[in-house]
Structure 1
């Protein structure tokens, strides 16, 4: 029999109670005041299992406040906003690889999961990697449309279940001539890219007034110049959920050694040629339309930026998964 003194138990119980209370207080304070939550980063996903009280969520400041912020404050604002969950999804599901940005996280709760065989998926940006689409087909048998104008289809095998389009997503429709090639070693880049708005693409495919179950966007920083048009066009009420890779703040150049990427160097250019305050305004406007973040998936080591006052490492490349809470009030299939 092991004997434990009562005083030892009491001291440990007291310490545990104080520690638990402190964590609860700090967490609640953090929700209201946006203090750094870096002490919880080791368990960053556990907060996405918590029921959400929208009145306690951190809100992106007004346009005037954002326009007056310096870079450090803007990065801290982004970090505080992105790291606090806005909706609890009980069934988060990975479609595609788990250890690669080629896979995406979706919400498979009954309210949001694609209806097998009648669902519709739009996937923008593929570089002819169809692992996400193949996972969608295996799981839900959706109608899948994939868009990427950057490379020739010559010699490429496209899965039978994918409707592929040499079209890029943009905030306006035009032919983009001699686009910069962000993939330094990609030799097959096409000279002219056909760019269209989401609204025009939907119309051309006769999908007007039809639900898009998953809208996947991975367009290398141009999301900031594209999302404003999507928000104002009136198509988002028909979108159930969005999986988007965001590139925040300053862009960077990939450095290679022996044809292998080894590091990144930040430049003075902003992703999508959109100013940093305006990038935050896009996130706020997306929230205002009813889209809530239910999961984040940082792309570590690529684009992590150190900022000061206070010191913080900010993941500027991030997979965001969002659901349209306005769909909660809509009958399934509408």
Structure 2
């Protein structure tokens, strides 16, 4: 008599093991961070935004705890106050990018966190990258160009004369790079020294109506520059406040897919009330933070300084681009 005949439970166990193995082998695998076929990006984004709304309520509760008003909140409390928070605790990256998230570029200062680069690399339309703040180091921009051969990058930095060696010394990449010694600003002054332009003016000069990846690292000028950019496309105050029943497709759209931003919360820009108003303008424009990391290199170099520099990555939840569309 066989073991299976004498012990039916072994036969049942063997069948379960075989069925499990068959299921595992026959189930298709998907890259990390990708959506399974049949899932809808729009539904995932809607679910994430509902969770994000809960984070906004928690932000207000934190203000009331430590304030109780915006005017009363210190962005970086002095140690003797015993207040256990910093500015960044009010603005957490609680939105989840529904695609692969990866750090692109060099480790340490210079690399950035990007959402859905694999999707951008596969999209059918040309890919446009803008990078403000080069400072002689272009590992981030070079890695993007290598990952997505149909991308081109427009770089701007008045403190240097070219991209860093990661692009300048690689002819195949340099051919897809366009560099200008201009400053990004909240107004246009083409005859100033250095020449300065708004982002919307530069897009018009270059014939672009959309930026897939926008990197901004411009030593606190991001506040007025992004204010001007949002002003050009998003009515203020919030469109949603005046159109509470508007569908997402009806909301005004900022022409950018994602934003990699170093924030310099220095001086007046770092005052809590002022900062919160600026930040919430980005949120009202459809930008959602999905990643952050403090600039610890800066903290280490300037010992005893406040942790007032932080890297954030945002995705735009509106429009029709690779991060929000099932067809790209």
What CA deviation, in whole Å up to 9, does each residue of 1:170-205 have, x standing for no partner? Answer: 11112696xxxxxxxxxxxxxx21110001111111
1:300 to 296, 302, 313: 296
What CA deviation, in whole Å up to 9, does each residue of 1:7-55 have, x standing for no partner? Answer: xxxxxxxxxxxxxxxxxxxxxxxxxxxxxxxxxxxxxxxxxxx967123
| Structure-2 separation of matches of 1:303 and 1:72 | 14
The within-5 A match list for 1:90-105 is 90-97=99-106, 99-105=107-113
Q: Which residue of 1 aligns with 2:115?
A: 107
Asked whether 1:212 is paired with 2:211, we answer yes
Runs of 4+ in 1 over 6 A off after TM superposition: 109-114, 154-157, 304-307
Contact 1:57 1:84 in 2 (8 A): no
Contact 1:58 1:84 in 2 (8 A): no
Superposition deviation, residue 246 in structure 1 = 0.7
The within-5 A match list for 1:138-149 is 138-141=146-149, 142-149=151-158
Q: Which residue of 2 aligns with 1:320?
A: 312
Question: In 2 relative to 1, CA 328–314 (structure 1 residues): closer, same or farther, beyond 3 Å?
Answer: farther
Superposition deviation, residue 167 in structure 1 = 1.0
TM-score by length of 2: 0.62
What CA deviation, in whole Å up to 9, does each residue of 1:110-145 have, x standing for no partner? Answer: 776773771100000101222111101100120110
Contact 2:134 2:163 in 1 (8 A): no
The within-5 A match list for 1:168-207 is 168-174=183-189, 192-207=193-208
Contact 2:48 2:95 in 1 (8 A): no
Contact 1:88 1:294 in 2 (8 A): yes
Superposition deviation, residue 328 in structure 1 = 6.2
Asked whether 1:225 is paired with 2:217, we answer no
Which sections of structure 1, spanning at least 5 residues, go unmatched? 1-49, 178-191, 251-268, 308-312
The within-5 A match list for 1:271-282 is 275-282=271-278
Asked whether 1:237 is paired with 2:282, we answer no
Q: Which residue of 1 aligns with 2:175?
A: 160
The DSSP-based 3-state class of the residue aligned with 1:221 is coil
The within-5 A match list for 1:7-26 is none
Question: In 2 relative to 1, CA 241–83 (structure 1 residues): closer, same or farther, beyond 3 Å?
Answer: same
Question: In 2 relative to 1, CA 241–153 (structure 1 residues): closer, same or farther, beyond 3 Å?
Answer: closer
Aligned residues: 241
The within-5 A match list for 1:22-101 is 53-58=51-56, 65-72=69-76, 76=85, 78-97=87-106, 99-101=107-109
Question: In 2 relative to 1, CA 78–161 (structure 1 residues): closer, same or farther, beyond 3 Å?
Answer: same
Higher-Rg structure is 2
| Structure-1 separation of matches of 2:147 and 2:118 | 14
TM-score by length of 1: 0.61
The DSSP-based 3-state class of the residue aligned with 2:278 is helix
Which sections of structure 2, spanning at least 5 residues, go unmatched? 1-46, 78-82, 169-173, 235-252
Contact 1:114 1:213 in 2 (8 A): no
Question: In 2 relative to 1, CA 82–149 (structure 1 residues): closer, same or farther, beyond 3 Å?
Answer: same
